[in-house]
Amino acid sequence: MSFMAARRIVNYKLIILANVSIIWVVFAFLFLYNIILIDKNDVTGRSLIIFSLAFATIGFVVSAALVFYLKNAFRHYPFWLSVLMKMFLAFGLFLLIAFVMLSSYYVFAHKGTFEDFLGMFYREVFLSKAFMIFMLDLAIMTLLTIVVLEVIDKYGPGGFWSMMRGKYIKPRVENRIFIFLDINNATAIAEQLGHTKYFRLLRDFFTEITIPILANGGEIYQYVGDEVVLSWKNTPLNKQRCFRFLRQAFFLLKRREPKFMKQYGVSPTFKAGIHSGEVTAGVVGVIKKDLVYSGDTLNTAARIRSKCHELDESFVVSGDFLNDFFTPYAYRVNEIGEMEFKGRSEKEKLYAVIFE
């Protein structure tokens, strides 16, 4: 993976971390209110700003651990067990940070002997009501952070805040790019591996291609069996990102081939169809809401992907996608010709994409 791709992934995680950290900062003031409400003596003569900054700092470190390290650490475990393990590790990290910060505070504030300091530290910190409230608030905030991260995973990059703002409550017309991508020879591989093992291969396959998706700013619209549908806003820059995604995903799976062969005895490859145009976007559902795109653009993109096998080409794009777009270096686009699609009166000009 290139430095640019790695930077985009880190930036994506930093944006999530910033959003979560804001929640922690706001909650720091609620935490202080709890202390004042229950026991004013714990904050008498002490700076409320320092208390707020301390809680916010601890929240930032715990959130960073959840976002960068713990978010996907237990993805193969049941959800309830994954949450418990994350909370346990976050709790341990909190204790370590709190101990270091509070120890430093009392070391600089206390002028007695070391034995006196230890006794006072034990009585005034670990046996205080404030510390107990600290523990309770940490548990609540850690659980809330984990839930927020899971919701962000559900809606994908940018999708969570779009749903929160009610962007798609009313249907709106958007011009978007769609990639329909699925595994080659999926039926034969499923018969060879069996249902359970094939599902594990699917999960690992989707996990691997998520890296180049994030690196190129793509949105995962939906998974359908062995197929994933990706989307970008229709801009010249995003058209380049679509090409980069295909190339990076292709060579990433090439590098992962030994791992797949060792674990499954087969290494998946994929085919993809790309098309762009106007769609209608909106939220549907009552007991389960979801963002849905509709329109001829999606139908055409799906049919282009289905043409890959017929044409013996891995990556096929439409003429509409290539409008106002210059093929980047290291890619070759060969014209296939105009083809008819079932249900459409007009023919669509198709092109094959080849990596050089």
**DSSP per-residue letters across 53-103:** HHHHHHHHHHHHHIIIIITTTTTTS-HHHHHHHHHHHHHHHHHHHHHHHHH
| CATH code of 177's domain | 3.30.70.1230
Provide the pLDDT confidence category of residue 301 given band limits of 50, 70 and 90. very high
Amino acid occupying residue 133: I
Is pLDDT of 173 > 60? Answer: yes
334 and 209 co-located in one domain: yes
222 vs 230: CA distance, rounded Å: 7
* Burial grade of 162 (CB within 10 A; 0-12, 13-18, 19 or more): middle
149 and 201 co-located in one domain: no
238 vs 348: CA distance, rounded Å: 21
Alpha-helical runs (H) found in 156-235: 159-164, 186-193, 195-215
Q: Which residues contact 282 (CB under 8 A, 6 or more apart)?
A: 168, 169, 170, 171, 172, 291, 292
Question: Which pLDDT does position 194 carry in this prediction?
Answer: 92
Question: Which pLDDT does position 48 carry in this prediction?
Answer: 58
Q: Say which range, 49-58, 215-224, 227-236, has the weakest mean pLDDT.
A: 49-58
180 vs 175: CA distance, rounded Å: 16
121 and 175 co-located in one domain: no
As a whole number, mean pLDDT of residues 239-243 equals 92
- Give percent of the chain above pLDDT 70: 76
Q: Take residue 333 and report the two structure tokens written for it.
A: 């686009």
As a whole number, mean pLDDT of residues 144-168 equals 71
Is pLDDT of 42 > 70? Answer: no
Question: Which pLDDT does position 265 carry in this prediction?
Answer: 94
* Burial grade of 170 (CB within 10 A; 0-12, 13-18, 19 or more): exposed
Return the higher-pLDDT residue of 180 and 106: 180
Provide the pLDDT confidence category of residue 193 given band limits of 50, 70 and 90. very high
298 vs 146: CA distance, rounded Å: 34
Contact criterion met (CB below 8 Å) for 248 and 210: no
188 and 144 co-located in one domain: no
Question: Which pLDDT does position 291 carry in this prediction?
Answer: 83
323 and 277 co-located in one domain: yes
Q: Say which range, 39-43, 104-108, 350-354, has the weakest mean pLDDT.
A: 39-43
Average pLDDT score over the chain: 80
**Residues spanned by the domain of 195:** 159-355
317 and 276 co-located in one domain: yes
Looking at 155, 187, 211, the residue that finishes a domain is: 155
Question: Which pLDDT does position 293 carry in this prediction?
Answer: 92
Looking at 98, 130, 155, the residue that finishes a domain is: 155
The total of structural domains in the chain comes to: 2
122 vs 224: CA distance, rounded Å: 56
Question: Which pLDDT does position 108 carry in this prediction?
Answer: 67
274 vs 336: CA distance, rounded Å: 14
Q: Which residues contact 16 (CB under 8 A, 6 or more apart)?
A: 67, 149, 152
Measure Cα distances from 152 to 20, 67, 236 in Å. Answer: 11, 11, 27
79 vs 83: CA distance, rounded Å: 6
* Burial grade of 349 (CB within 10 A; 0-12, 13-18, 19 or more): middle
Winning range, highest mean pLDDT, from 79-88, 101-110, 269-278 = 269-278
Is pLDDT of 239 > 80? Answer: yes
Is pLDDT of 145 > 80? Answer: no
Provide the pLDDT confidence category of residue 323 given band limits of 50, 70 and 90. confident
126-138 pLDDT, tens digit each: 666 667 776 777 7
143 and 168 co-located in one domain: no
Is pLDDT of 181 > 90? Answer: yes
